[in-house]
Amino acid sequence: MALSRRDAMKAGAVLAAAATAPAAAAPVHHAAVKSSVPVAKPEASVRERLLLDFGWKFHLGHAADPAWDFGFGANQRTFAKAGYGIATSADADFKDDDWTAINLPHDWVVDLPFVPSTKSYKPDEEDPRAAHGFKPVGREYPQTSIGWYRKVFDIPASDLGRRIALEFDGVFRAATVIFNGYIVATSGSGYRSFRVDVSDFANYGGKNVLVVRVDASLGEGWFYEGAGIYRHVWLTKQDPLHIAQWGTWVKSSVTGRTATLSIATDLVNEGAVRTAHIVSTVFDPDGRVVATLKSPELNLGAGEKRTVAQTSTLSSPRLWSLEVPALYHVLTQIVAKGAVIDDAVTSFGLRTTKFDPAKGFLLNGKPVKLKGTCNHQDHAGIGAALPDALQDWRIAKLKEFGCNAYRTSHNPPTPELLDACDRLGMLVIDETRRMSSDEESLSDLEAMIRRDRNHPSIILWSIGNEEPQQPTERGARIARVMKRRCNELDPTRPVNAAIDNPDAWGKGIGPVLDVIGANYRTPKIPGFLATSPKSIVIGTETGSTVSTRGVYVRDKASGYCVAYDTEAPWWASTAEAWMKVAMPDSRIAGGFVWTGFDYRGEPTPFNVWPNVSSQFGILDTCGFWKDNAWYYKAWWGNEPVLHLFPHWNWTVGEKINVWVHSNLDTIELFLNGQSLGSRKMEPYGHVEWDVTYAPGTLEARGYKDGKLVLTDKRETVGAAAQILLKTDRGSLAADGEDAAVVAVEIVDAEGRVVPTASNLVSFKVTGGALLGVGNGDPRSHEPDKASQRAAFNGLCAAIVQASKSAGDLRVEAMAPGLKAAALVIPMKPAKPRAAV
Ligand code: GAL
């Protein structure tokens, strides 16, 4: 019998041993979310870094038949001759007219239909296809697991002599990069950023054919991973003597009112012997120059690589914090014969971090509880291919309910996610994909740290997650090597791994780590800390209530959980169970709830068709709040919260379990003006009543110290009558990239959300593009790339993208029998990013 991943884990453990007075928390369906904060940032002007996202062609290939794969691999000849006969699609005169025109980022899997298993499963048996969300990708589906990307572009004759490189932020996975007929790179992990120097192969003054074959036959995770060139691609043009990729590292320390900067710049000379010096100009968060550092004259030999060290002291540094995420920048310039020949801008932040066995986590000397969430990278409607604006949007969404930390489970994220965390004030655990000390895994780890170490948001490097080797000596050996590599590349941050077998807290990898990550097993943490008082433990995966937005009656056959904080898988706990242990205990620095958003794949708790998405999220796949979001807001945030649920549209006489999440001390419930009694709120708890349903108004009144602070109400609403459209974006940049989430509410004649509405909504978008649609239903099999979506419990969403021309982006939403709605988002003139 095949073991499920969960069985293997168990085996491994055994083997190894309505607001009135004042406004209450009304349902937040895409309320005002700040999408980004302006940052005074200098710009590089000599080096060209051009976005290579636009104007691609795409076609599926075939993993098993070269005839359907443009001849790739026919007759075992792929690597026989450099630059010859690799694939017909790589030929300059190949006709790609019948290929689909696309822009990056692109995920072809989100576009594939859901495919149910033909096999039936016993109760509690997991369907292996569930892991990736029932999409036809992997070895069983050779005809939909290979993607070909093709782009033809000019490189001017004047570029001859410069170094031309392609930078891929991430391709899922196993890319074969073919440039002008040459295989110039093959990549492995789909989460790794990589660079390919193509200077030798370029046609200067002519057309260049870039073809990327992407093979997603093998996955890397047990969750939806998407497939394709799902992150940005860049074309860089530099002087032969240039700053290496990720070649500027600003290491800082802050003591009292002084910050010391150690700036290391990696130079590469791919030309003849040169003499040059470097100038590092440091800008404060307002864009004012606060230091200018000039190196001595350097003589660099042909092919030489050199790291230049510079130091500086800043007085009265402006510290990066969650409240004020102040960012500094350094402009690095290489100067030869009086001219700047290459330059780069790097942002960084000044802050101190410390994990203390008694006080938990300290940021700038002050204890900060880690109120974290783990997240995967996919989003409703668009899969793994997110416009940058969505990264900001998602981080802001998490912040709305008090989340202050993000674990990039289980892979290095796209760089823009980390930029968003830096700008918006979100702490990060950055995690590598494979916990192994083999050369490739170490190289992936190294790429992550080199790329990411300037981000002030990152507080920990994670070297792995729940590996079977965790309690073993072999595991310890691997962890030691990985930790040493982390320390060499960045001595400023501690090393962490996520462990689900508590035996490994005290043996195997646990003792190697600076910070032990406990996945679940919450009740065991205090006992462990009592016997190991010097250890530092955080919850790397905690809580993990499974819940369906807007559902209050469990329905296994349909695949729905309830939105009360009552159900968690055997290995996990409810939100309350986790919070009651972790929040009052200063030794526990905090933890990361599994998960912030629902994600595709791993459709727990049911793990069989028809479920296609997980139900762990505090938010659904669209980012709509489930009721537990108010629980976290109450106990993680600083404002009074009062949230009453469920909705109030039931059958007369039904017994309804009524809950209130609140941080006030006494809650009184009323049905149609009649008191149903008061309840005392215990810290990190909730209050509940069993109420016999009668239509009308259910109202909760929240008191603190005897004073009425908030009220909230649920009313019996009428039939669906109209559509409302909402967005948090007042305008978009007309740059062809900016994007907004448009929330759709199905409301009654009085404008109240109809909590059970499932109307089919059709969208018409003009002025911009409709990127995708979603509704947060964990078992919806409707297409994401479509112009219509059924509402799920009253809500659905569309993701729209700006065009490059200023004007109006207009979204219209229609449904039979409902009054239609229109929303206009002005697109303001903006300079599109330099692109090819
Ligand atoms: C953990 C794992 C996560 C996710 C979670 C579901 O074991 O690290 O990736 O699978 O379980 O509960």
How does strand 788-790 pair with strand 760-766? antiparallel
Over 70: is that where the pLDDT of 377 sits? yes
From the candidates 431, 466, 576, 602, give the one annotated as an active-site residue: 466
Q: Dihedral angle at the C-alpha atoms of 167, 170, 172, 176, nearest 10 degrees?
A: 20
**377 Cα to the center of ligand 1, angstroms:** 15
Considering 348, 375, 399, which residue would you say is the last residue of a domain?
348
**472 Cα to the center of ligand 1, angstroms:** 20
Assign residue 548 the CATH number of its domain.
3.20.20.80
Which atom of ligand 1 sits closest to the CA of residue 572? 12
Q: What's residue 27's pLDDT?
A: 40
Q: What's residue 12's pLDDT?
A: 34
Over 50: is that where the pLDDT of 366 sits? yes
Q: What's residue 225's pLDDT?
A: 98
pTM attached to this predicted model:
0.96
**613 Cα to the center of ligand 1, angstroms:** 13
Does residue 283 form part of some domain? yes
For residue 500 and ligand 1, the question of a CB distance below 6 A is answered with: yes
Residues of the chain with pLDDT > 90, as a percent, come to 91
Q: What's residue 31's pLDDT?
A: 43
Please tell me whether residues 230 and 304 are part of one structural domain.
Answer: no
**519 Cα to the center of ligand 1, angstroms:** 8
Please tell me whether residues 177 and 266 are part of one structural domain.
Answer: no
Assign residue 677 the CATH number of its domain.
2.60.40.10
For residue 465 and ligand 1, the question of a CB distance below 6 A is answered with: yes
Please tell me whether residues 160 and 244 are part of one structural domain.
Answer: no
Please tell me whether residues 729 and 787 are part of one structural domain.
Answer: yes
Which atom of ligand 1 sits closest to the CA of residue 221? 9
Q: What's residue 17's pLDDT?
A: 31
Assign residue 157 the CATH number of its domain.
2.60.120.260
Mutate to test the pocket of ligand 1, among 411, 547, 602 (most ligand atoms within 8 A of CB): 602
- For the segment 194-207, what is each residue's pLDDT rounded down to a tens digit? 999 999 999 999 99
Per-residue pLDDT, averaged over 704-719, amounts to 98
The stretches of 304-350 forming alpha helices (DSSP H) are none
Pick from 648, 644, 652: which is nearest to 755 by CA?
Answer: 648
Mutate to test the pocket of ligand 1, among 7, 466, 499 (most ligand atoms within 8 A of CB): 466
Residue 746's domain comprises 722-828
Over 90: is that where the pLDDT of 42 sits? no
3-state DSSP call for residue 219?
A: coil
- For the segment 280-293, what is each residue's pLDDT rounded down to a tens digit? 999 999 999 999 99
Close Cβ partners of 799 (under 8 Å, ≥ 6 residues apart):
379, 380, 381, 382, 387, 390, 739, 740, 741, 742, 770, 771, 772, 773, 774
Cβ–Cβ under 8 Å, residues 87 and 69: yes
- For the segment 378-436, what is each residue's pLDDT rounded down to a tens digit? 999 999 999 999 999 999 999 999 999 999 999 999 999 999 999 999 999 999 999 99
> Structurally, how many domains does the chain consist of?
5
Please tell me whether residues 369 and 452 are part of one structural domain.
Answer: yes
Considering 238, 261, 294, which residue would you say is the last residue of a domain?
238
Q: What's residue 15's pLDDT?
A: 30
* Mean pLDDT estimate for the chain: 94
From the candidates 126, 220, 467, 541, give the one annotated as an active-site residue: 541
For residue 699 and ligand 1, the question of a CB distance below 6 A is answered with: no
Q: What is the DSSP letter of 835?
A: B
For residue 519 and ligand 1, the question of a CB distance below 6 A is answered with: yes
Does residue 164 form part of some domain? yes
Over 90: is that where the pLDDT of 760 sits? yes
Question: Is 466 a catalytic site residue?
Answer: yes
Cβ–Cβ under 8 Å, residues 551 and 794: no
Q: What's residue 44's pLDDT?
A: 82
Cα distance between residue 58 and residue 724, in whole Å: 36
- For the segment 111-136, what is each residue's pLDDT rounded down to a tens digit? 999 999 777 777 677 788 899 999 99
Please tell me whether residues 201 and 255 are part of one structural domain.
Answer: no
Please tell me whether residues 675 and 701 are part of one structural domain.
Answer: yes
For residue 594 and ligand 1, the question of a CB distance below 6 A is answered with: yes
Over 70: is that where the pLDDT of 3 sits? no
Cβ–Cβ under 8 Å, residues 697 and 715: yes
Report how far apart, in Å, the C-alpha atoms of 779 and of each of 391, 553, 622, 741 are: 24, 16, 14, 21
Please tell me whether residues 729 and 741 are part of one structural domain.
Answer: yes
Considering 300, 320, 348, which residue would you say is the last residue of a domain?
348
Cα distance between residue 564 and residue 546, in whole Å: 9
Mutate to test the pocket of ligand 1, among 408, 541, 574 (most ligand atoms within 8 A of CB): 541
Helix pair 439-452, 473-489: axis angle to 10 deg:
40
Question: Is 541 a catalytic site residue?
Answer: yes
Please tell me whether residues 654 and 771 are part of one structural domain.
Answer: no
Q: What's residue 287's pLDDT?
A: 95
For residue 220 and ligand 1, the question of a CB distance below 6 A is answered with: no
Please tell me whether residues 28 and 128 are part of one structural domain.
Answer: no
Angle at CA of residue 546, ends 542 and 547, nearest 5°: 135
Q: What's residue 71's pLDDT?
A: 97
- For the segment 20-39, what is each residue's pLDDT rounded down to a tens digit? 333 333 344 444 444 344 46
Q: What's residue 39's pLDDT?
A: 63
Please tell me whether residues 491 and 606 are part of one structural domain.
Answer: yes
Residue of minimum CA distance from atom 5 in ligand 1 = 594
Over 80: is that where the pLDDT of 14 sits? no
